[in-house]
Structure formats: C-alpha cells, structure tokens
C-alpha cells in the first residue's frame, strides 16, 4: 500500500474516467440483479417503449445531458439517478486513486467502492443486499489483497483477519440477537469483506468504519423521527449505513482514530 502518498494527477483523471464507465455498468447491475435478469443480454432498452438504446445514447452523463433526460424515441423522462450513479462512482474512484495512489490496494478499494455503490442503491430500492454482488466482491477483494500481501509482505495480515472477524462477530451478533429484524443476512455477508479491507489500513480505521455505520444510522434515524418521516419502529435498510461507515473508515479512519485517542488522553 502506498498510504498517504499523493499519486500522479494522471491517475486521478484515469480513475475518474473509469468510474464513469463503471458507473454506467452499475446502473445495469442495480436494475437487473434484483430482478434476476442477465447482465449481458438483452442490451439496454427504454423501459417505456422498449426501443434499444443506441450506442451513442449510452455515453455516461453526456448522453443524458444531450437528450435532456428523455428517451430519444418516446420522450419518456429518464431518471436523474442514472447520471447521478455515474458521477458518484467517478468521484469516489478519483478520491480513491488520490488517497492510495499506484498500488494493488487501490484496485481492491475500487472494487469495494463499485460494489458499494450498487449495493447502496439496491438496498434502498429493495431492502436487500444480493449475495451475487457481495460474493463476487468478496472473492475479488480476497484475490487482490492476497496479491498485495505477496508483493509487500504479510505484516498486516493478522490485523486484517482480526478486523474481519470483529466485523463478522458484531454484525452476526446483531443478526442473531434481533432474530434478523435488525438487519439481514446480506449485511452479515458483506461485513467481513469490509473489515478485511479496512483492517489492512490498521485496526483504528477498521473500528472507525465499524462504529461509523451505526452512528450514521442512528443520527439519520433521529432526524427522520424528528421530522415525522419515520417512526421509532420503522424499518430502514442498514446497508447504506454499513457502506457509508466503511467509506468513512477507509478515507479518514486513521485521522479520526488518532483524534479519538488524543481526546481521551490515550496518546500524547
């Protein structure tokens, strides 16, 4: 891992462009995976008129702007969420490249970000985290992180494994105690991969990411109840909070952890 070394600016721009392309694919994943549809065929088509989307109308963000957010054939409005997913993925890819630079860990982090964007939206829409996405992400993460260990040594492996076990223990424990009402098995399946990835950055970032998901969820819950948009017993998908916490730990976890330790006088 390159830690906090700043990468070349070219890498950031390449990552942003890659993020746009990946974001376009993630829109397909978000729509088709919950419906049990193939990601390969048939090609993209307008859900209103069923006319196939032309290649030049499938350019990330730009096509949506040129078409003014409407189908070329039937003029049905195209949701803003499509370019939003593409832009968000591009921004997160660029931030990841800037944060970690040229490293195998960057590849693992990008996999985590891409899967996270898809799972975030799917959980909001369907209140579930498909095992096909979490499983594919987990296998890819393990392979890339193993390559990183081979190239740079395995000093951080014990911490990463401990981190994965902590995440699994916490989320598995909550699932058992609440009999599945607090969160689903998809959250439990996703947790170890997040813990493993953050654990390679250190136990501090991992714990910040773990606690961050619950803190973010609790704060948003209070806001929703206070504004009358939810009740105390309302069920809200936890996946977005889990993923947001992991993102917090990945980007700012070490700084927040050190600040926490200084606040309580645990370090000088």
Q: What is the pTM of this model?
A: 0.88
Cα distance between residue 57 and residue 54, in whole Å: 5
Q: Compare 56 and 86 and report the one with higher pLDDT.
A: 86
Strand partners, 70: 77
Let me know if residue 100 belongs to a domain. Answer: no
Cα distance between residue 55 and residue 234, in whole Å: 43
What per-residue confidence (pLDDT) applies to 234?
Answer: 63
Residue 89's SS3 state is helix
pLDDT band at 40 (very low <50, low <70, confident <90, very high): confident
For the chain, how many structural domains are there in total?
1
Q: Which of 81-90, 170-179, 226-235 has the lowest mean pLDDT?
A: 226-235
Let me know if residue 204 belongs to a domain. Answer: yes
Cα 241 to chain centroid, rounded: 10
Let me know if residue 168 belongs to a domain. Answer: yes
Let me know if residue 102 belongs to a domain. Answer: no
CB atoms within 10 A of CB 236: 15
Cα distance between residue 204 and residue 261, in whole Å: 10
Let me know if residue 10 belongs to a domain. Answer: no
Cα distance between residue 244 and residue 235, in whole Å: 18
Closest CA to 16 of 117, 92, 125, 108: 92
Let me know if residue 125 belongs to a domain. Answer: no
Percent share of the chain, pLDDT over 70 = 94
Q: What is the mean pLDDT of residues 118-140?
A: 92
Owning domain of residue 203: 150-268
Let me know if residue 221 belongs to a domain. Answer: yes
pLDDT band at 67 (very low <50, low <70, confident <90, very high): confident
What per-residue confidence (pLDDT) applies to 243?
Answer: 95
Q: Compare 3 and 162 and report the one with higher pLDDT.
A: 162
Let me know if residue 214 belongs to a domain. Answer: yes
pLDDT digits 0-9 by tens, 168-206: 999 999 999 887 776 888 899 999 999 999 998 999 999
Query: What mean pLDDT value characterizes the chain?
Result: 87
């Amino acid at each position: 891992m390159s830690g906090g070394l700043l990468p070349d600016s070219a890498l950031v721009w390449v990552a942003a462009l890659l993020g746009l392309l990946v974001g376009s694919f993630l829109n397909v994943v978000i729509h088709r995976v919950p419906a049990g549809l193939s990601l390969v065929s048939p090609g993209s088509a307008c859900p209103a008129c069923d006319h196939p989307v032309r290649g030049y109308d499938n350019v990330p963000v730009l096509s949506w702007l040129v078409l003014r957010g409407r189908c070329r054939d039937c003029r049905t409005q195209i949701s803003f969420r499509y370019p939003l997913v593409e832009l968000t993925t591009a921004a997160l890819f660029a931030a990841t490249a800037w944060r970690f630079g040229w490293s195998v860990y960057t590849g693992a982090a990008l996999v985590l970000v891409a899967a996270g964007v898809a799972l975030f939206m799917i959980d909001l829409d369907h209140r579930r985290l498909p095992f096909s996405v979490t499983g594919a992400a987990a296998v890819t993460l393990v392979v890339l992180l193993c390559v990183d260990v081979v190239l740079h040594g395995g000093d951080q492996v014990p911490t990463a494994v401990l981190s994965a076990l902590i995440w699994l223990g916490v989320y598995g424990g909550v699932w058992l105690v609440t009999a599945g009402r607090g969160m689903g098995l998809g959250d439990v399946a996703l947790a170890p991969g997040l813990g493993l990835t953050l654990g390679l950055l250190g136990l501090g970032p991992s714990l910040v990411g773990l606690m961050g998901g619950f803190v973010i969820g609790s704060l948003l819950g209070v806001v929703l109840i206070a504004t009358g948009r939810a009740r105390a017993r309302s069920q809200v998908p936890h996946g977005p909070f889990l993923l947001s916490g992991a993102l917090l730990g990945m980007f700012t976890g070490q700084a927040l952890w050190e600040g926490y330790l200084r606040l309580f006088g645990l370090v000088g």
